[in-house]
């Protein structure tokens, strides 16, 4: 189920990660979302209603996995969110041109409901501390005026939230720059905290 964060788009946002991605970019921070199995099967409308209980959020971010590999379901979710007056922010490894060239009604419907699209494959060779994106080649595209462009432009660099969940797991949300995880683990070890992880971040 979605959680609420102040990263992956401006303001307080509900974030949904979809399951399944055939792009499988080297260095991806969430390879566990590549397989089409796994995750939790939910109805898009029920998920939207669950999200919208939080009146304090300004919008919803969809990440993955690859949202455009299940465009009809994501479009239903986005439509409900937009009808409630919230803005939408979506990450895709495909470029906008690639999505338009599909000439797929479900993909086109999904695009029509997105306020900001961050497009392009993650390129580990161009990775860095970029606001709301993982690598320099990726584009932040305003498809509507619902999110002011200056709010995005004013963000100085990538932001990360670090939390401990109810199970004692260390949870990192956002787009960490290369080298962040080893530095974090080293800093924690220096303070006597040992973290076990198999996350393949660089």
- Beta carbons within 8 Å of 154's beta carbon, 6+ residues apart: none
* Residues linked to residue 86 through DSSP beta bridges, in sequence order: none
Answer positive or negative: Cα dihedral of 115, 95, 73, 29. Answer: negative
**pLDDT at res. 63:** 95
pLDDT in tens, 113-169: 999 999 999 999 999 889 999 999 999 999 999 999 998 888 766 777 777 777 777
User: Please, are residues 8 and 63 in contact by the beta-carbon 8 Å criterion?
Assistant: yes
Assign 110 to helix, strand or coil.
Answer: helix
Going by C-alpha positions, the residue among 46, 49, 20 that lies closest to residue 35 is 20
**pLDDT at res. 202:** 40
* Residues linked to residue 139 through DSSP beta bridges, in sequence order: 119
Band the pLDDT of 82: cuts 50, 70, 90. Answer: very high
**pLDDT at res. 88:** 98
**Mean pLDDT of the 48-62 span:** 95
- Beta carbons within 8 Å of 67's beta carbon, 6+ residues apart: 18, 74, 90, 91, 92, 110
Band the pLDDT of 197: cuts 50, 70, 90. Answer: low
User: Please, are residues 190 and 24 in contact by the beta-carbon 8 Å criterion?
Assistant: no
Q: Within 13 A of 13's CA, how many CA atoms are on the CB side?
A: 23
**Mean pLDDT of the 68-75 span:** 98
Compute the chain's Rg from CA coordinates: 17
How is residue 168 written in tokens?
Answer: 């004692």
CA 88/CA 106 separation, integer angstroms: 17
Range in 22-26, 38-42, 73-77, 94-98 the model is least confident about? 38-42
Mean predicted lDDT score pLDDT of the chain = 89
201, pLDDT greater than 60: no
Going by C-alpha positions, the residue among 58, 120, 65 that lies closest to residue 89 is 58
200, pLDDT greater than 70: no
CA 164/CA 159 separation, integer angstroms: 17
**pLDDT at res. 156:** 65
Going by C-alpha positions, the residue among 129, 106, 134, 105 that lies closest to residue 118 is 134
User: Please, are residues 88 and 62 in contact by the beta-carbon 8 Å criterion?
Assistant: yes
């Amino acid at each position: 189920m979605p959680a609420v964060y102040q990263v992956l788009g401006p303001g307080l946002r509900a974030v949904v990660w979809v399951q399944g991605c055939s792009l499988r970019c080297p260095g991806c921070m969430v390879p566990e979302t590549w397989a089409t199995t796994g995750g939790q099967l939910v109805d898009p409308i029920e998920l939207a209603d669950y999200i919208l209980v939080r009146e304090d959020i300004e919008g919803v971010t969809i990440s993955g996995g690859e949202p455009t590999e299940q465009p009809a379901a994501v479009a239903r979710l986005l439509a409900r969110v937009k009808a409630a007056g919230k803005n939408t922010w979506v990450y895709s490894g495909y470029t906008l041109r690639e999505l338009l060239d599909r000439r797929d009604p479900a993909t086109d419907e999904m695009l029509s409901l997105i306020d900001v699209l961050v497009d392009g494959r993650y390129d580990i060779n161009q990775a860095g501390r970029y606001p709301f994106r993982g690598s320099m080649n990726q584009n932040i595209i305003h498809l509507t005026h619902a999110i002011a462009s200056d709010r995005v432009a004013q963000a100085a660099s990538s932001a990360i939230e670090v939390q401990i969940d109810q199970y004692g797991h260390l949870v990192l949300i956002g787009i960490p720059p290369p080298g962040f995880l080893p530095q974090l683990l080293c800093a924690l070890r220096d303070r006597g905290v040992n973290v076990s992880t198999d996350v393949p971040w660089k």
